[in-house]
Amino acid sequence: SFKTIHLILNMEVDERYKILFEPVKIGPVVAPNRFYQVPHCNGMGYRDVTSMAALRAIKAEGGWGVVCTEQVEIHHTSEITPYIELRIWDDKDLPVLSRITNAVHTHGALAGIELAYNGMNGPNLYSREVPLGPSDLPTATFSNDPVQARAMTKRDITNLRRWHRNAALRSKAAGFDIVYVYGAHGLGAPQHFLSRRYNQRTDEYGGSLKNRARLLIELIEDTKEAVGDTCAVACRIGVDELIGEEGIHREEMLELFNEIGELPDLWDLTLCSWDIDSRTSRFGEEGHQEPFVTGFKQLTTKPVVGVGRFTSPDAMVSQIRRGVLDLIGAARPSIADPFLPKKIAEDRLEDIRECIGCNICVSGDMTMSPIRCTQNPTMGEEWRKGWHPEKIHTKGKSQSVLIVGGGPSGLECARALGRRGYQVTLAEKNKELGGRVAQESRLPGLAAWSRVLDYRLGQIRQMENVDTYLGSDVTVEDILEFGSEHVVLATGSSWRNDGVGRHHLIPQKFPEGKTYTPDDIFAGRLPSGKVVIYDDDHYYLGGVIAELCQKNGCEVTLVTPAAVVSSWTVHTLEQEIIEADLLKKGIRILTRHVVQPGNNSTPESELYSVHIYTKETSILDCDALVLVTARLPNSELETGMEKVRNSWADAGVKSLTRIGDALAPATIAAAVYSGHRYARELDEEIDPDAVPFERELTEIAPEPDWKTFWQE
């Protein structure tokens, strides 16, 4: 129906932002505006097809003029199991891919497909084929698989070109408008060939830049020849690895652009590898790629797209007016707010749910689980739960809800319940809203996290049916007196000071007066002198507090039982960056060690580090110990309410529910989701025995005749 995009085109857009809604010709197709959802993974791929198609459809509905797939494996000789992407191995994959193009076209957007031959980045754990690369080298995978790639022969290269061409033809048959050649993020074979580090060939595919670019050029030309009559051919290319001349670097790529700038119909510029392109806000400002991508557009007449975690329309306009980009590429901003373009068109900037740059979305792909987002709790749930980011059903039979606690779960719960039309009272014991989000966003590098609060506060302020009370330390008596039908406890959690975490499961007796927790830090009670951070939480907080203490002049040692610092952040693409940053700041790191107090045979006034395997023990010379280990839900109000359950009916209280960290401490994303889920499900019939979402099962093959199947 092309409904959405045409509505936007006819809309009176603010003069300043009109340029963002201009159509852009890309080869034989025309993007209806400059909002371009670049290819991004989602952890769903071939396993959760309709979920993923729905996700893309929502982006198109939200006004993105181009909506692309994630990387799509073109051949079984290059697959990246265990990661779950799309596949276009043969015609069997076409129904899956057509489902995406149908979904995207429904709202008038162009559909793009990123064809990927990962080569030496694909360990082929599923197909058991030998990976192919430019040279005989170990595969370049996240998990250092004990697999080497084989140097491709000329025949292999001919085969690869045919496989890519076939995939392009299938893409066209599936209805795609833009077909990619992918050589970026350290993930595509054309990039491995371009790289002098990986390409050690001595034939016409190795050596000079022209030779190393030969495969890339051939793939672009093949694709244009195969489908270029009706499809635009895009090239996604990494322009700098930030490792100097040994790696792919800007000067060399500018030289290449001078030669082949006119070859594809569109250039999609990235940094490589993926972690430096998709930097978290802790390590990269909005638009941090600009110094590297600037100048390429001037070497081609073809449109150029690039990313920068742009959420501000002024920043987007500036990119275009200053000649950096033609199209505003986005993965994360389109995840946090699929309706970002539409909100700009409708002059509803205050309604934009800005990405906070935390990379929880990336963790879906890295853990092979459906994408999730801290800011957008509906992300990944569009089909399986029927959740729409901008629509919510009107309220059920109940009238009123009291929410105790204004952290991320309480705020989201209030916002979503308010949208449904309930009379909502939000009581927060502190003088400010935000809970852990407000506290943590004051720590080094986490300022952007306050957007979780900013968005919700902005929304709640527009609602007459949501009342907020600050400085309200709600008691059991208050709840009974208030008489709301439903009571939601979003009271958060408290960090433990007894060392219990993943390693110590029994509380430890640390020397009195020496220990601190993150809650002390949030309250402004900071340690001094020689400080040990004991991180058995393994996400970001231990490292961030180490950085804070170091900034405050402390001599800091970070001790963790894990093999690396902040080990879970490998899933948010930060781990190596965090560890390098802490080391550069002079923070001492002691991995595979636990901190424990003295026992019967050692003085109790001392602290010890113990190697988790050898049990070798050393005294830790420190003035303070910060324990970042685990949290306990703040459940006192629930306990108190349970004691007076007999009084609930008289007070009009029908239910009491804990949500977010008050139920089970986890990520901010989990807290927001928890608040949103409560709001969605209030007054709904929920069958506790039923799976609470739709599932899509892989088609099973016809049943073999088991008696004869393996006979000779």
User: Would you tell me which residues interact with ligand SF4 (CB under 6 A)?
Assistant: 332, 335-336, 355-361, 373-375
In angstroms, the CA 508 to CA 610 distance is 14
Residue closest to 573 by CA, chosen among 135, 201, 279 = 279
Minimum Å gap between C-beta 64 and ligand SF4 is 14
In angstroms, the CA 13 to CA 344 distance is 8
Residue closest to 541 by CA, chosen among 568, 563, 564 = 568
Residue of 222, 268, 277, 326 marked catalytic = 277
Minimum Å gap between C-beta 577 and ligand SF4 is 15
Minimum Å gap between C-beta 357 and ligand SF4 is 5
Minimum Å gap between C-beta 336 and ligand SF4 is 4
Minimum Å gap between C-beta 332 and ligand SF4 is 4
Minimum Å gap between C-beta 372 and ligand SF4 is 7
In angstroms, the CA 277 to CA 263 distance is 24
Whichever of 360 and 624 has its CB closer to ligand SF4, that residue is 360
In angstroms, the CA 8 to CA 323 distance is 24
Minimum Å gap between C-beta 355 and ligand SF4 is 3
Residue 201 neighbours by CB under 8 Å, 6+ apart: 134, 135, 151, 207, 211
Whichever of 232 and 356 has its CB closer to ligand SF4, that residue is 356
182 is annotated as an active-site residue: yes
- DSSP secondary structure code for residue 511 in this structure: P
Alpha carbon dihedral 201, 207, 209, 213, in 10-degree steps, equals -20
- Cα–Cα separations (whole angstroms), residue 520 to 407, 524, 548: 18, 6, 13
CA angle, 541 as apex, 536 and 542 as ends, to 5°? 50
Residue with tokens 């060690």: 593
Whichever of 359 and 491 has its CB closer to ligand SF4, that residue is 359
SS in 3 state form for 351-394? Answer: HCCCCCCCCHHHHHHHCCCCCCCCCCCCCCCCCCCCCCCCCCCC
Residue of 41, 358, 413, 549 marked catalytic = 41
For residues 475 and 462, the answer to whether their CB atoms sit within 8 Å is: no
Whichever of 176 and 673 has its CB closer to ligand SF4, that residue is 673
* Residues forming a β-bridge with 424: 401, 466
Whichever of 250 and 279 has its CB closer to ligand SF4, that residue is 279
Whichever of 228 and 357 has its CB closer to ligand SF4, that residue is 357
Whichever of 139 and 674 has its CB closer to ligand SF4, that residue is 674
Minimum Å gap between C-beta 231 and ligand SF4 is 29
In angstroms, the CA 248 to CA 242 distance is 8
118: amino acid identity, one letter: N
In angstroms, the CA 124 to CA 132 distance is 10
SS in 3 state form for 474-504? Answer: CCHHHHHHHCCCEEEECCCEEECCCCCCCCC
Residue of 40, 105, 107, 185 marked catalytic = 185
Residue closest to 520 by CA, chosen among 552, 491, 497 = 497
Residue 634 tokens, joined: 């703040």
Whichever of 364 and 410 has its CB closer to ligand SF4, that residue is 364
Minimum Å gap between C-beta 278 and ligand SF4 is 8
Residue of 182, 198, 422, 516 marked catalytic = 182
Whichever of 358 and 554 has its CB closer to ligand SF4, that residue is 358
235 is annotated as an active-site residue: no
Residue 570 neighbours by CB under 8 Å, 6+ apart: 142, 366, 564
Minimum Å gap between C-beta 451 and ligand SF4 is 8
Minimum Å gap between C-beta 666 and ligand SF4 is 14
Whichever of 103 and 335 has its CB closer to ligand SF4, that residue is 335
For residues 410 and 428, the answer to whether their CB atoms sit within 8 Å is: yes
Whichever of 434 and 597 has its CB closer to ligand SF4, that residue is 434
In angstroms, the CA 358 to CA 374 distance is 8
3-state secondary structure of 258: helix
In angstroms, the CA 241 to CA 248 distance is 5
SS in 3 state form for 609-669? Answer: EEECCCCCEEEECCCEEEEECCEEECCHHHHHHHHCHHHHHHHCCCEEEECHHHCCCCCHH
Whichever of 330 and 404 has its CB closer to ligand SF4, that residue is 330
41 is annotated as an active-site residue: yes
* Residues forming a β-bridge with 304: 267
Minimum Å gap between C-beta 56 and ligand SF4 is 15
Task: Phi first, then psi: give them for residue 441, nearest 5 degrees.
Answer: -70, -5
For residues 239 and 247, the answer to whether their CB atoms sit within 8 Å is: no
- DSSP secondary structure code for residue 585 in this structure: T
Q: Catalogue the active-site residues.
A: 41, 182, 185, 277
